[in-house]
Each structure stands twice: as C-alpha cells, then as structure tokens.
A and B are shown apart, each in its own frame.
Chain A
Amino acid sequence: MALVDSGGQAVAECVVVDARRHGELLAQGIAAVLGDAGVDRRDLGAVVVGLGPGPFTGLRVGIVTAATLGDALCIPAYGICSLDGLGAGERVAMTDARRREIYWARYDTDGTRVSGPHVSKPGDVIEQLRGVPVVGFGAQVHAEALVGLDVRPEPKYPSAPALVERAVALLGSVPEPLVPMYLRRPDAEQPGPPKRVTA
C-alpha cells in the first residue's frame, strides 16, 4: 500500500510480501501509511486498488477494503489491472497463477496494455512472447518452462505507487464498479446421483 500526493509522489509506502496474510496486514498497513505520512484519513481524495488477476482470497481482501474505504470516506475507488502496475514501457508482465499457469499481459512501447490479462500454460504462449522483456516474479517461478525468453530480474511485483500512476487519468471520473479479474471459474462440479449405501 502507498500514499501518493497530488503531485504524483509517493509520500509513504508499506510493502509486505506474504500472499497468505493480506487479511491481517492490509488495514494495519493502511493505518501505518497514513500515520507515517501524517495524513488524516479524511483528507484522502481517492482510493486505487489492483483488480488482479491474482489469488482470489487476497484479491477480495484488497477490493472489499478499497470499496468500503471509499464508501465510508465518500471518495471514489478506482480499480486497475494489477499487471499494469508491474514494470513500465514495452514488456510482458507476468505473475504466478499457480497450477503451473501464469497470469500475463503485454504492453507496447508507450506502456499501453495491448493483450491480456490472460491465464495460460507457459508452453502455450512462449512463442508469442519471444523478443519482449518479461518482468514479474511469475517468470522466475516458471523459469524452466520459459527458457529462451528475455526474463528480467526486476521488478518482481506490482507496486502500489505504479497503480496510482495508472489511475491518475481516471481521477475526477465516475469510477467503474470494482470487478475482480478472476479469469477462472470457481472449482465446483455438479454432483452425480447419490452413491448407493447398500451392495
């Protein structure tokens, strides 16, 4: 999480890489960032949140936090594709989708997203990603399946200030509903008929 002033400068930031603890850490981090910057919560002008793609549970924690914060403070909450906050310029931004898959999106030279976000098996997309710098920890997790690509060591994760930067153009507009980019349907299968209990 980060607090960014009207000039686009990050005045406080708090980063913890722990995909299992968003529920515990996020609200506390927001309070800490406000405290560090000496900013009253009522002075906030907007909230920006990553809409994913990413692990569903953490994604929902972020989105519901942004939605309710915006609601309670009567300020707009803008959603941005999380991959848009990973790197800059021409690139492929890639995060780990687990299940041997990647989330990825492709950006042109002026940083505009031209493809994605997608969820794919690395082997299915490797050909179309050749020759473009690949950023994000997902590329390192799946390095063996991505041999031959131009994988850069940094940046690894989407950053909150970068998401805010992408949202600047939206400030003042009526925010779109915060719809998570799940990209996958829930795992649930319709059951067959009940099993017999007698032989």
Chain B
Amino acid sequence: MTGDEPLVLGIETSCDETGVGIVRGTTLLADAIASSVDAHARFGGVVPEVASRAHLEAMVPTVHRALETAGVRLSDLDAIAVTSGPGLVGALLVGVAAAKSYALALDVPLYGVNHLAAHVAVDVLEHGPIPEPCIAMLVSGGHSSLLLVDDVTRALQPLGQTIDDAAGEAFDKVARLLGLGFPGGPVVDRLARDGDAAAIAFPRAKPKGTYDVSFSGLKTAVARWVEAHEGEVPVADVCASFQEAVVDVLTSKALEACRDTGVEHLLIGGGVAANSRLRALAQERCDAAGVRLRVPRPGLCTDNGAMVAALGSRLVAAGVPASAMDLPADSSMPVTEVVNR
C-alpha cells in the first residue's frame, strides 16, 4: 500500500450488471461492466435467475478486463470490497462468493458493503471528498431513498423511501404500457425532450409530514389516461408529463429534507440520476434554495463496481474492521449498516 492510498477491487452483482472497479485511494483506475440487460428485455424486467447465470459467466472475465485497464495485478490489491446487500439474493451470492475467494487466495481483507452507501461514496471519484453531512437521494429501478449521511463509512440514516414502486420501476412500467420496451428510463428521457411537460396534469403524491414518496398512483393515472385517449397517443407529451411528475416529487422531497435538517449539500445517485430532466430540475431548485448539488456522471450513477471499490477504499482508510469469511448475502440489508460483519 502506498501510504494511505489503498488499492481496492470492488465487485457489484446486486441486480443485472456485473461490475468490477479498481480504485487507488480516491482515484478511479478501472470500471468494467458486463450487463445482462438485453437478456431481460423480452421479459419486460430483470429475471433473477437469468441475471445470476450471467454473473457467473461474466465474473472472471470482467475482473480481468478491470485489471488490464488499471494496469495492476491481483497480487497488488490491498483489499476486496463487494456488495453484500440489498439486492437479488442469488445475484448477490455470485459476487460475494467470488470476493471471498479472491480475499482468501490473496490474503487481503474483505469488505461486504451496502449497495446504497456505495452509490453515495462513488462521487468521491468524480468530485472529491463527500460533503458530510449531506442529504443523499438514491433513485433506481429498485430503490427510491432519501438518506442523511453524516459519515458514509459509519451509517446512513433513512429519512424516507417509496411506499410502493421505485422511481425507475415507474419509468419501466410507463415505457411498457407505451410499448417502448425495457429498460424504460433512457427511452422516456429521450422522447420527453420533444414533448410538453405541462400537456397532461398527472397527479403528484407529496404527502405532508413524511419524506416517503409513492409512484404507483402516478403509473396507474398514466395507464388510465392512455386508455381513455382517443386517437393516436401523444407519446412524447405523455413521457414528458409523466417524467415531470416524477422529478417534481423527488426534488421537492429532497429539498424539503435539506431545508428541515439545515443540510446544505444534496447528492443524487442511482440509475434514475442519469435522467437529464431530474438533473436539470434538481440543479434549478438547489440553486434557488442555496443548496449545493452533486451528481456523478451517468456512468457512475448506474450500478457499477467502481462505487463498491470507492467505498471499500474509504473503509480501509478509516480503519473500519473487515468482514468475516462467513459473510452472507443480505437481500434486505438495512441502510443503517454500511459494512456487513
């Protein structure tokens, strides 16, 4: 190890991306990804068994792509980090078993880390040290969480989450009812650019006194509107109006949390953070409220191994004890737990 710059390999297999990242200190050296998204497209969503099979096939080749890109050898590594939860248990287990085996063979510490904490920690690679405290909004196909982050190596405090569908799931479902295929996020974002966000007044669930959000009613409202519409469906307007409702709710709740807690930094991560309208509206509202916004580049927002390596590197530097060799995969790992022991 060069001073306090640990060389960490991170493995991410919680859903449909096999991600392997390599980080030295806070510097990203490699971020290799093998995605099974195409294999899921015809099923309209991620099929856990299909994802797990793909992880097994992709694991060793993806590790080697990362090593080659980084120009390092396995024997150079100081630690292995892996997403141990939350996520699809069969998918997580492939990464966890691989990480244990590398840690055992290389005789380096193993860190089983929380996927959501890794989504927060990744921004260190792009914008430097994570401002602490900060409010983190993590939005993806599986999560919509608002968190208070005092120290990303210790604990994240949950403030609110979706009570039904995740934000990305709502994008997928709306895309499906419009016949736009899977995944829905990128295509809705693209089509919405040619649509009128004010064309249709879709409902916005902003319950008072909670930071929880809900997208199930919105999704049904879009379906009802489309079914009731006579003639050709104005797809671009539907996309733009739906998307506006989602990002309005998300940014409202995030800014509300910043205001109530007096925290001046908002960090957005997760696959939905790649949405161009979410990024634009969040910037606009943060500027108006005097909150400083940080969003990693889209490639670091979606699931990847670099985020796991970035968190692992922080944990090593902070002297946090490593995980044991009987580390389990925990599909519902609470966000209050950053490292699984």
Contact = CB atoms under 8 A, between A and B. Distances in A.
B56 A180 contact: yes
Given A67-B59, A194-B176, A186 B98 contact: no
Contact of B328 (A23, A30, A56, A180): A23
Nearest to B221: A197
A57 B329 CA distance: 12
A187 interface: yes
Nearest to A21: B328
B98 A68 contact: yes
A65 interface: yes
Contacts of B53: 56, 60, 180, 182, 186
A68 B43 contact: no
B223 interface: yes
A23 B323 CA distance: 14
A186 B50 contact: yes
Given A71-B63, A72-B101, A72-B105, A25 B326 contact: yes
A139 to B, nearest CB: 27
B49 A68 contact: no
Interface residues of B, number: 42
A27 interface: yes
Given A24-B328, A56-B52, A196 B227 contact: yes
B228 A198 contact: yes
Interface centre among A72, A186, A194 (most CB of B within 10 A): A72
A28 interface: yes
B224 A23 contact: no
Contacts of B105: 41, 68-69, 72-73
B34 interface: no
Contact of B93 (A61, A68, A71, A180): A61
Main secondary structure of the interface of A (DSSP, over half): helix
A189 B49 CA distance: 12
A61 B13 CA distance: 13
Contacts of A17: none
Interface residues of A, number: 35
A57 B93 contact: yes
Contacts of B261: none
B235 interface: no
Given A24-B327, A27-B104, A69-B105, A197 B97 contact: no
Interface in B28-57: 42-44, 47, 49-50, 52-53, 55-56
Contact of A27 (B90, B97, B227): B97
Given A188-B43, A188-B47, A65 B101 contact: yes
A23 B97 contact: yes
Contact of B104 (A30, A56, A71): A30
Contacts of B215: none
A41 B108 CA distance: 13
**Most chain A beta carbons < 10 A, residue from B50, B105, B329:** B105
Contacts of B89: 57
A197 B43 CA distance: 21
A173 interface: no
B198 interface: no
A28 B105 CA distance: 12
Contacts of A28: 324-326
B52 A57 contact: yes
Interface of A: 22-28, 30-31, 41, 56-57, 60-61, 63-65, 67-69, 71-73, 180, 182, 186-191, 194, 196-198
